[in-house]
Every structure is written in C-alpha cells, then in structure tokens.
Amino acid sequence: MYTYPIYTEKRECRDCYKCVRACPVKAIRVKDGSAVVCHELCIFCGKCVGVCPAHAKKVRDDVPKAKTLLKNKKEVYVSLAPSFSAEFPGQEQQIIDSIMSLGFTGISETALGAEAVSHAVDELLDEKDFHSPLISTACPTVVEAIQKYYPQLVPSLTPFHSPLGAHSQQLRNTYGKDIGVVFIGPCIAKKLEADKNEGLPDVALTYGELKNWFLNEEIDISKRKSIDAINSGDFSSHSFIPRKAAQAVGYAVESGMLATLKNHPTLLQQGASVSGTKDVLDALESLVDQTLLPQGELDELSIPSFFEFLSCSGGCINGPGCAQETTSLLRRISSNHYTQKRINTLSNDTDRNILGITPNEIMYSFTNDREKGLKEKKPPRFVIEQALIKLGKKDENERLNCGGCGYSCCEDFAIAYINGMAEAEMCVTNMRKQAQSKVDVLLRTLPMGVVIVNNQMKIIDCNAQFLKMFSSVSYHADEYELEKLSGLRVDSFVDANRYFSRQFAQTEITEQITLNLTNSVVKATFFTIESGHLVGALFQDVTQVVHRRDAVMRRAEDVIQKNLQSVQQIASLLGENAADTEIMLSSMIDLFDQPQKIKIGSDTL
C-alpha cells in the first residue's frame, strides 16, 4: 500500500489541534477528535511533524527502501544536499566515509545539479521573453503549493528540474542508466519529488533517517578521521565524485541560488529571495495579481524578473528533516563558511558552474494538481452565516477569533466546518459556553441548595435555592442577582467554614452533616471539585422529614403506653408476672425517645 511522506498515527493523536494551527494551508482534517493529514491538500512542508507534542505526525521511513536498493542494484550513488555543512559542521570527510561504509558506490553533491539549474535559468533570463516573474523550482514544497493553490502561477515556474532532479540525471548520464540514486538531505517534500519522478532519485532520506541508520549500524561519525588527519598521514579516504561543487553549495541558504546567477547579479539587491512558508504564500498571493499586469509594467513597478522561494525560513539549512540541534544562526554561519571556503578553493576553475548537461536535458513541464485552489471554493455568504450560527456564534460578540481551533478567525473555521475539515468540538469557547450552560441548568433545576467555594472561603457559584435557604430572600432569585454573590464569603450565609476547611484537607472523602437552624433542619454534603482549590456543598432541607419522624415517635409512644396498660391489666387478672414485658416495652420507648446521632470522623452530632 502506498504511503505518503507524512501521515498520522490516529491512536497517538491527542485532540490538541496544534498541527492545525501550524499548517500554513490548513491541510488537516479533524474527524472523531483525530487530526489527520489531508494529502490532496498537503504541501509537505513538515510543520505539523515538528509541532506535534504526541509525535502522532510521522515521516515515512525510507531506510528499508534504500537498503533494498543497495541489495538489488550493482551500483548505488548518494546525492548529498549542500545543507550537510550545517547539519555536520566541520565533518565533511567523516560524513563521506560514514555514508560509504553503508555500502554505497560513491557520493556526489546535489549542488552539481544546482550549478546546472542556475546556468539554465541564467540563459532563460537573458532571453527576456516572459510576461511575469519567473519562479524557482528548487523547493518542492513551493512547487506543490503553486500547483495546488495558485495554478495561475504554474506557467511562471522555470521549466527545469530541481537541482536534485538535474543531479540524478547527471549521475545516470555519467555512471549508467541502471544505477540507483539515493538523496540525503533536510527535506521531507523531496520524498514526494522522488515518488513523482521515478529514478530522479529512487529514494529520498532525511538527515534524521541517516542518523538512525548510523545508530542501528553502530557507526560513530566522531571516531572517523577528518580531512586534515588524512592529509597528514597515510589514511585512505573517499571524496566527492565526479568533482566538488563550487558556489552552488550556497543553495542551502536563502539567496544562495541568486548568488549563482552570474548574468543577473542585481537580483540579490532586488529582494528576489523569500523564505518561510507564510511569507512565501503571501508573496505568491501578490504575484497572482501581478500576473494580470500588461507587458512593460513589471519594470515600472521594479518587480524582479525572477524569484527564489524557499519554504523553510532561512533556507534548507533549517529543513524539517534536520536534527535542529543548533540554532539557525550557527547553522547559517557554518554553511556560509563552507561556501566561502569552496569558492576560494575552486575560484580559478572557470568551468565549475557547468554540470556537463545542457538546459534542454533538464527541461521539465509542471502541471496543475487541482484545477482550482481551495480559496476559489469559498461557500456563499449565507451558508457561512448558517454554519457560524450552528457553531454557537450567532452575533459578532460571540465571534472572538481566538484561534483556539487552529484557524485564524471564526469565519475560516466555519468554512473548514462546511468543507468537512473541522468539527464543532474544536471551538474551545463554544464548548466552554455549552459546559457552563449545562452546569447552570443543573444548578437551577436541583431542588436543593448548591454552593461552590474556593480556598479563600469565597463563593464561586451558587443557585437560587441556596440563597433562599440561607438568607431572607423569599422569592426565586434570577441569574443577575446570583452573579452578585460571586466573591462574597460563604460564612455570610451559613456557618460551615470548618466543614469546608476539612474538605480542602481531606479530598478523598465526601462528608455529610446535619445542621440545626433556627426554623429548619438541613442535611449538608461536602465534596471536592478541584483538590485544594474548589469545594462544593449540597444542602437539603429535611425539616419536614424530621417533623414527620417526631410525630411518628409520639404516636408510637401513645400506642405503647396504652398497650402497656392493657398488658398490666391482663397480667393482674391472670396473676402472671409482666415484668419482662414491661422492661421490653420500656426499652422500645427509650429507643424512640433518644435523638438521632450522626458520626463524622471522630465527632458525634
């Protein structure tokens, strides 16, 4: 069964909606409390994977697939992303030798493919035969976003493979069509690129997968020799094939591609590079409008002729497949240092920026994944209003736009609800309001008095029956009057502080007592709501019950006295001794005559 690069383990999902908040295109469908990646909407940026606290969002593990490729192919080569200099700073030789020990035939730099792409884009820009800005195709997440959400911009994509696609093709041209190619880098979306373009490459792994592979094979990178140690001794080692890349290793950082466009250096000053998913999507939104401009107005508005868009903020060095063990600043410094070192070393080789294949060989045609973007399917206004009402948001005062559901505003949440992407239970404010409403109904309908008290002995909530039992109010108080009681001390109404205090101390026990008031007898039950913070009490007027019990006792006593007299008379007539009978009946009278005692802990009331 085919598995997408990102998927959800439903059993581990915890109803937090954090992935919904993080997803830039809201490609998360919530059903039965589980937040599942909706693959037809997903751009595979990996944001949901990074924020999921329960680790329910998973990245497909392709190490088994890479191992199978090594087993079945005579030669398998690695295309190593330029961001490795940030992931493994100062460990170029160690990482090459470690990867080679896994059984690969050779390791080449993806940056060689980047050189070919830059060369092709340079030539395309020289033609100046376009009506809108061109957009780079180096980032598969950006390409996916354009194909799914901004199909109008598909013609603006440069008609070339990504650096990975170009490099995979170059490796096959050089080492044979039947070789295997495995990409290793920081990008989850490269897995999707590999799925869609068979053999370009065959498998895509993240740095995280590579490190796990090392761990399982007990390969310790730190114990391998550095390039300096190799140069000073007789250590044998491996190196990049067929050669090292030059300035294109800077592709891993924002503006890195622009720096390689030799014929168009002004693009660096024109702000033609944008990184970070939100900023990229905002830029694409703007470009959708700009494509409608007639020819000639682009220059007037100073719009760059080419844009380098990268989904990850700061560039590929901060990709979702990175370990992220260091800060973005240190990763950028490591990458820039490595790039400058390469430029200084290889600056005299004027042919370094050409991969060895022509632009025609890396041509690629992009198509729309969907005919229309999600935003074009916005429901009619009246449908949205109906959904808002159903979600408990009848007027503007209830539309708080708090973002608790994961959507930026209540209207977006309602649209997602209409489209089957969200559930009503995701609205925290509405759920709280419903819960409070149910509590209020319960308090109002209970025939006994109810009060909730905090650890400062102040009333948090109560019902009208409580107010009627312990104050001079003779009518049924309304909700507004009850709200005024909040914050007042409970001992202003009933002298039961010691029982409330005892309940705060003994949270596992529910305590019952009987209170003898001036005109009534009340049975009180104290229970813990929130340990150490909130205690509740139920008060039931049992005055009528007590009065009925006393009346029964008096009537029983009268009957017993009459029966005793009759027995005495009968005993006298018969000459029998009635002492035992008298004692028994007297004991029954005493039993009924004694007041009822209730034991609470060590107290007896």
Report the C-alpha gap between 220 and 407 in whole angstroms.
Answer: 44
CA 173 to chain centre: 44
Q: Are residues 128 and 172 in the same domain?
A: yes
What is the predicted pLDDT for the residue at 40? 92
Q: Does 486 score more than 50 pLDDT?
A: yes
Neighbour-count burial of 169, counting CB atoms closer than 10 A to its CB (0-12 exposed, 13-18 middle, 19+ buried): buried
Percent of the chain at pLDDT > 70 equals 81
Write the pLDDT tens digit of every residue in 240-257.
Answer: 999 999 999 999 999 999
Percent of the chain at pLDDT > 90 equals 50
Q: Which residues contact 330 (CB under 8 A, 6 or more apart)?
A: 89
| Residue with the two structure tokens 């949440």 | 413
Is residue 53 within 8 A of residue 18, CB to CB? The reply is yes
User: From the CB of residue 490, how many other CB atoms can be counted at a distance below 10 Å?
Assistant: 25
Q: Which residues contact 452 (CB under 8 A, 6 or more apart)?
A: 459, 460, 461, 462, 529, 534, 535, 536
What is the predicted pLDDT for the residue at 605? 44
The amino acid at 325: E
CATH number at residue 451: 3.30.450.20
For residue 383, tell me if it sits in a domain: yes
What is the predicted pLDDT for the residue at 598? 42
Report the C-alpha gap between 560 and 586 in whole angstroms.
Answer: 9
Q: Does 572 score more than 70 pLDDT?
A: no
Interval 335-351 mean pLDDT: 78
Q: Are residues 88 and 193 in the same domain?
A: yes
What confidence tier does 95 reach under pLDDT thresholds 50, 70, 90?
very high
For residue 368, tell me if it sits in a domain: no
Interval 391-396 mean pLDDT: 84
Is residue 441 within 8 A of residue 434, CB to CB? The reply is no
Q: Are residues 100 and 119 in the same domain?
A: yes
What confidence tier does 372 reach under pLDDT thresholds 50, 70, 90?
very low
Q: Does 552 score more than 80 pLDDT?
A: no
Report the C-alpha gap between 369 and 40 in whole angstroms.
Answer: 9
Q: Does 150 score more than 60 pLDDT?
A: yes
The domain tally of the chain equals 5
Write the pLDDT tens digit of every residue in 197-225.
Answer: 988 999 999 999 999 999 999 999 988 77
The amino acid at 110: T
Q: Are residues 462 and 396 in the same domain?
A: no
Report the C-alpha gap between 507 and 240 in whole angstroms.
Answer: 68
Is residue 43 within 8 A of residue 374, CB to CB? The reply is no
Q: Are residues 338 and 472 in the same domain?
A: no
Is residue 225 within 8 A of residue 237, CB to CB? The reply is yes
Report the C-alpha gap between 131 and 135 in whole angstroms.
Answer: 12
Q: Are residues 314 and 395 in the same domain?
A: no
Q: Does 239 score more than 80 pLDDT?
A: yes
What is the predicted pLDDT for the residue at 600? 41
Write the pLDDT tens digit of every residue in 256-270.
Answer: 999 999 889 888 888
Residue 577 vs residue 118, higher pLDDT: 118
For residue 478, tell me if it sits in a domain: yes
State the angle between helix axes of 140-149 and 189-196 in degrees (0 to 180), rounded to the nearest 10: 70
Is residue 546 within 8 A of residue 523, CB to CB? The reply is no
User: From the CB of residue 322, how many other CB atoms can be counted at a distance below 10 Å?
Assistant: 22
What confidence tier does 508 reach under pLDDT thresholds 50, 70, 90?
confident
The whole domain housing 561 covers 545-604
Question: 134: part of which helix (H) or strand (E)?
Answer: strand 134-135
Neighbour-count burial of 294, counting CB atoms closer than 10 A to its CB (0-12 exposed, 13-18 middle, 19+ buried): exposed
CA 100 to chain centre: 37
Residue 52 backbone dihedrals phi, psi, to 5 degrees: -65, 115
Least confident of 50-54, 64-68, 309-313: 50-54
Q: Does 31 score more than 90 pLDDT?
A: no
What is the predicted pLDDT for the residue at 339? 93
DSSP string, 249-277: GGGGSTTTTGGG-TT-GGGGTTT-EEESH
What is the predicted pLDDT for the residue at 348? 46
Least confident of 91-100, 310-319, 508-517, 573-582: 573-582
What is the predicted pLDDT for the residue at 371? 47
What is the predicted pLDDT for the residue at 352? 45
Report the C-alpha gap between 145 and 397 in whole angstroms.
Answer: 35
Q: Are residues 537 and 562 in the same domain?
A: no
Report the C-alpha gap between 185 and 206 in whole angstroms.
Answer: 5
For residue 472, tell me if it sits in a domain: yes
Q: Which of 32, 45, 40, 38 is nearest to 8 (CA)?
A: 38
Q: Does 509 score more than 70 pLDDT?
A: yes
**Tokens standing for residue 119:** 């060369």
Q: Are residues 126 and 46 in the same domain?
A: no
| Most confident by average pLDDT, 7-21, 37-51, 379-393, 424-438 | 37-51
Q: Are residues 186 and 259 in the same domain?
A: yes
CATH number at residue 41: 3.30.70.20
Q: Are residues 278 and 207 in the same domain?
A: yes
Q: Are residues 578 and 516 in the same domain?
A: no
Residue 2 vs residue 109, higher pLDDT: 109
Which SS3 state, helix, strand or coil, does residue 533 take?
coil
Strand locations in 412-520 (E):
449-454, 459-462, 511-516
Which SS3 state, helix, strand or coil, does residue 7 take?
strand
Across the chain, what does the average pLDDT equal?
Answer: 84
What is the predicted pLDDT for the residue at 450? 92
CATH number at residue 418: 1.10.15
For residue 373, tell me if it sits in a domain: no
**Residue that terminates a domain, selected from 441, 462, 495:** 441
For residue 406, tell me if it sits in a domain: yes
**Residue that terminates a domain, selected from 504, 523, 541:** 541
**Residue that terminates a domain, selected from 396, 423, 441:** 441
For residue 367, tell me if it sits in a domain: no
Neighbour-count burial of 350, counting CB atoms closer than 10 A to its CB (0-12 exposed, 13-18 middle, 19+ buried): exposed
What confidence tier does 178 reach under pLDDT thresholds 50, 70, 90?
very high
Interval 427-441 mean pLDDT: 74
For residue 372, tell me if it sits in a domain: no
Q: Are residues 475 and 516 in the same domain?
A: yes
Strand locations in 186-220 (E):
203-206
Number of alpha carbons in the 13 Å side-chain half-sphere of residue 309: 29
